[in-house]
Amino acid sequence: MIHEKWFKKQVLALMAVAAFDVVGVSAGQPGADSVDVVSPFLYTGSPDFSSDFGLQGIKGGDTAGTFIITGTSNVNGVVYNGPVNHGFTTQGSGTGAWYVINVPLSFNANSTSIYGPDNLGGGTVNLVGSYVSCNLRIGFFYAGPLTNTPSSGNFLSYRGRNLTTGQLADFTYIHSISRGLAVGNYGFQGEGNPFGHAFIYNPSTQAQPQKDIMFPDSDKTHTAYGIWYNGGSSYTIAGGVGLPSGLMNYGDPLGLAYLMDYDSSTGRFSNYQTFDYKPEGPDSQDFKGKTILTHFEGIWSDSKGLYKLPATVSSTEDGLSKAFVVDVRLQPNGRFSTNATWSPINIPGASVSTNDSIFADTSVGLVTYPNIPGQHEIVTDYAVTPIITERP
């Protein structure tokens, strides 16, 4: 049962940001459908609720208009199942149900973060993420029901490794899962960047569940943040491309986005394509003369040749960051079009925003609202449905 002081704390927080829990029409689009931004959208229940919260993944629910959203609250992994709306319960935002799902005690974990879900139907899900144990970041996989009392037998733990030497990684992040395959990154202390090695994780192949992703530009570092099942044995992977590892500092952001196909029956990678952001319209002035960094943070497809990618465009000079939806279409020859459409999400009142995950016309991410009279700068999470974008 939720403790009263936690609930009161959240009510006060919601009152402070009430001006930003808005329904509006996106700028520059007369007659457009209204954009419904729910902000903050967060878990407020026990145990250990705090303002340290983040939404990290989204997939569709069992019925139209519902979603499975994953995130982290303080040291706990949390999952929301329900509609994105302005309702609020003692568990948190929305009129659906929130669940706390942490890795088992036997994993000796200090914290659990859930990055990506995959809906298996009937209240059953796959979840992937990472946990911290003895100063190591370790990946995990969960297959089971949405429940506050998950069985320890439904979890698998995985540390990435150098497949040549067998050396175990110090950092393993499993970011996204779709139809049985997951993607993530692993790295070693002292390499300069913990995300330097992208891999595919297959939990059904315990003898060797890891397959390193092969990139044509092998002198660069890569992240694998999203994977989407296309049908048959075809998958598409999305992520980011960085500078050669020797030139990067620990935790540096990534400079380009990419898409690439993977065939699970042959083990072959193909159709690698990178994307960069070229500012247009008002963004031309905002990003003028600045170093622009971006990557794809997830992936969704309509199975008809359209891919929607959540992206965040940032500059290194002044901390400017903006959430985008990127549309990429398949060409008749099966390759990705290089003419991607970058559309900034209209989040009224935001000074900084990210787009962390997308499913169809719904996204979740982080938003910063500037100082207002009597209040400090507010940093919180948002959910938006349907997504209305600003046009250049």
pLDDT tens figures, 34-44: 557 999 999 99
Lowest mean pLDDT across 44-48, 237-241, 354-358, 370-374 = 370-374
pLDDT band at 255 (very low <50, low <70, confident <90, very high): confident
For range 193-216, the mean pLDDT: 90
Residue 143 has pLDDT above 80, yes or no: yes
pLDDT higher for 195 or 44?
44
Residue 344 has pLDDT above 70, yes or no: yes
Residue 391 has pLDDT above 60, yes or no: no
For range 289-316, the mean pLDDT: 92
pLDDT band at 309 (very low <50, low <70, confident <90, very high): very high
- Bridge partners, residue 171, by sequence: 137, 187
pLDDT given at position 317: 77
pLDDT given at position 192: 67
pLDDT given at position 7: 33
pLDDT given at position 46: 81
DSSP string, 332-365: TTSSBPS--EEEEB--TT-SEE---EEETTEEEE
282 φ/ψ angles, rounded to the nearest 5 degrees: -60, -30
- What does the alpha-carbon distance between residue 386 and residue 33 come to, in Å, rounded to a whole number? 8
Tokens linked to 299: 């992936």
pLDDT given at position 193: 67
pLDDT given at position 285: 85
pLDDT band at 86 (very low <50, low <70, confident <90, very high): very high
Look up residue 213 and give its DSSP letter.
P
DSSP string, 225-261: EEEEEEETTEEEEEEEE-S-GGGPPTT----EEEEEE
Per-residue pLDDT tens over the stretch 326-343: 999 999 999 999 999 999
Residue 392 has pLDDT above 60, yes or no: no
Residue 254 has pLDDT above 80, yes or no: no
Tokens linked to 165: 């030497």
33 three-class SS: coil
For range 101-130, the mean pLDDT: 97
pLDDT given at position 252: 43
Of 47-51, 131-135, 205-209, 281-285, the range with the highest mean pLDDT is 131-135
15 three-class SS: helix
Nearest Cα to 22, choosing from 30, 34, 33? 34
- Neighbouring C-alpha atoms within 13 Å toward the C-beta of 77: 30
pLDDT given at position 372: 65
Contact in structure between 221 and 250 (CB atoms under 8 Å) = no
Tokens linked to 61: 């629910």
Residue 171 has pLDDT above 60, yes or no: yes
**Across all residues in the chain, what is the average pLDDT?**
86
pLDDT given at position 15: 34
- What does the alpha-carbon distance between residue 237 and residue 199 come to, in Å, rounded to a whole number? 10
pLDDT given at position 125: 98
Residues above pLDDT 90, as percent of the chain: 68
- What does the alpha-carbon distance between residue 303 and residue 20 come to, in Å, rounded to a whole number? 35
pLDDT given at position 206: 81
pLDDT band at 29 (very low <50, low <70, confident <90, very high): very low
pLDDT given at position 283: 85
pLDDT higher for 370 or 10?
370
Nearest Cα to 71, choosing from 127, 125, 132, 2? 127
- What does the alpha-carbon distance between residue 321 and residue 352 come to, in Å, rounded to a whole number? 5
Residue 73 has pLDDT above 50, yes or no: yes
207 three-class SS: coil
Q: Which domains does the chain possess?
A: 4-384 (2.120.10)
246 φ/ψ angles, rounded to the nearest 5 degrees: -70, -15
pLDDT given at position 374: 67
For range 359-371, the mean pLDDT: 92
Q: Is the pTM of this model over 0.85?
A: yes
Residue 32 has pLDDT above 70, yes or no: no
* Triad 21, 27, 28: Cα angle to 5°: 165
